Structure 1
Amino acid sequence: MKKHLLIVLFAAFSACHKPQTTNLAGPWEPDYDVTRSEGAIKEFERKDAEHMPAPGGIVFTGSSSFTKWPNAVNDLAPLPIINRGFGGSTLPEVIHYSDRTITKYKPKTVVIYCENDMFGKKPKSPEQVRDAYVALVKKLREKQPDVQLYGVSLKPSPSRWAKREDVIKANKLIQDYIKKDKNHHYIDVWPVMLKNGRPDGAIFVSDSLHMNEEGYRRWTKVFRPILEKSV
């Protein structure tokens, strides 16, 4: 009887202390308000009211790796970059705001970078990240069937290196999807961000997540020749 009770107690303890994960193949629902970045979106709209970008540009959408690239327009000039990344965003948020941050500009090209989905309190599995990426693509194509898309690999960051296997798997799943999709290309930033097989600390700021000027200089070298083919 005592042995049975110990087994039950151990199982209960394990269940209570098991890290929260999500079903590999099941649907995923946000545990946060997808409108939490409304302030940032309204700031984009304020800027648009002052000067609306011309149709046919290249929209950058996604999370803070774009937000913290304030010189993207100058770094990639004369490419018509419209940077609409907003910090901390996830794919469900990008989908929610896509009409106000992407398709309203009638872009010729959209570049997608969003890496936070596997790192919140309720992380997605690599498969669910891929599914969310596909959902974004489908929504964009509903408005612009022929829009040209570029998916950027989730970058190797020192602060998130412990989950690199999940990041690598998510990248592979997204890349496999992109290969089968029309007008869709994959941009791999890993080769320019690694040193001796690990993230190069010299291109990151103190949080070991976001990049410094050297990091964006390397991204510019990767992005420019690829995006020049899209205009």
Structure 2
Amino acid sequence: MKKYFLVLFVLIFTSCHKPVSTTTDLPWVPDYALDRSEKTILEFEKKDAEKMPAAGGIVFAGSSSFTKWQSAATDLAPLPIINRGFGGSTLPEVIYYADRTILKYHPKTVVIYCENDMFGEKKKTPEQVRDAYVTLVKLIRKSDPDVALYGVSLKPSPSRWDKKDDVIKANMLIQDYIKTDKKHHYIDVWPVMLKNGRPDGSIFVSDSLHMNDEGYRRWIQVFKPILQKTA
């Protein structure tokens, strides 16, 4: 009998942690391990075990620009922010972990920001980035057809300015897709991040990629009035 319950426990535990997608669901086969951020995801789950966020919140999903926005919940209060961005992530990884970082919270709103796909060893085209974004959105929509979605423009960064044309094209392709869904909206951060037509270096830290407090202050000015409309 003890052996039976042990087997049952293992099966339940495994099913609870089974990723919602496999590589067959992705628009391309990644050349990296999709579970390379497992440690971070486990930290999220540890926090949830201590205090599970209430359903109907606003989930931030994506990469390090969200990860490093540690004060997002305070900055955007009283909006119920659940920040589940994890650093270095790509869209295939966000898709892979969607059940554990997005869907489990039964959010009213999901905000997506992920900019790394075009900057890895095997850089993806703007079209591939759009396709991965579409895959993620369809996955979320399958779970909750009525959830409000926001796609944030890939930001202009000094360290990646040489790829600005690809970034601009990816943003345009994603924006065109967003326009096909009345419950899906585009958040454009470019206007508050440029100075004389180039990224404003004063709002970035020394790596010229991630933002400092002033950069996030500008994001707050953009995000808060937009997200309050669906709160």
TM-score with structure 1 setting the length:
0.88
Q: What is the rounded CA distance, in whole Å, between the counterparts of 2:195 and 2:152 in structure 1?
A: 19
Q: What is the rounded CA distance, in whole Å, between the counterparts of 1:207 and 1:108 in structure 2?
A: 34
Structure 2: gaps (5+ residues): 1-26
Q: What is the rounded CA distance, in whole Å, between the counterparts of 2:111 and 2:50 in structure 1?
A: 24
Q: How far 1:66 sits from its partner (Å)?
A: 0.1
- Displacement over 2 Å in runs of 4+: none
8 A contact 1:64–1:89 mirrored in 2: yes
Q: What is the rounded CA distance, in whole Å, between the counterparts of 2:31 and 2:102 in structure 1?
A: 24
Q: Counterparts of 1:186-201 in structure 2 under 5 Å?
A: 186-201=186-201
Structure 1: gaps (5+ residues): 1-26
Q: What is the rounded CA distance, in whole Å, between the counterparts of 2:69 and 2:145 in structure 1?
A: 28
8 A contact 1:28–1:124 mirrored in 2: no
How many residue pairs are counted as aligned between the two chains?
205
Match of 2:112 in 1: 112
1:132 aligns to 2:132 (yes or no): yes
Q: What is the rounded CA distance, in whole Å, between the counterparts of 1:180 and 1:138 in structure 2?
A: 13
Q: What is the rounded CA distance, in whole Å, between the counterparts of 1:115 and 1:181 in structure 2?
A: 22
Secondary structure at the residue paired with 2:32?
Answer: coil
Q: What is the rounded CA distance, in whole Å, between the counterparts of 1:141 and 1:94 in structure 2?
A: 15
Q: What is the rounded CA distance, in whole Å, between the counterparts of 2:187 and 2:143 in structure 1?
A: 23
Q: How far 1:182 sits from its partner (Å)?
A: 3.2
Q: What is the rounded CA distance, in whole Å, between the counterparts of 1:128 and 1:156 in structure 2?
A: 19
Per-residue CA deviations over 1:139-173 (Å, capped at 9, x if unaligned) read 00111111100000000000000000000000000
Q: How far 1:28 sits from its partner (Å)?
A: 2.2
> Which amino acid letter does the alignment assign opposite residue 119 of structure 1?
F
TM-score with structure 2 setting the length:
0.88
Q: What is the rounded CA distance, in whole Å, between the counterparts of 1:143 and 1:220 in structure 2?
A: 29
Secondary structure at the residue paired with 1:180?
Answer: coil
Match of 1:171 in 2: 171
Q: What is the rounded CA distance, in whole Å, between the counterparts of 1:38 and 1:79 in structure 2?
A: 28
Match of 1:4 in 2: none
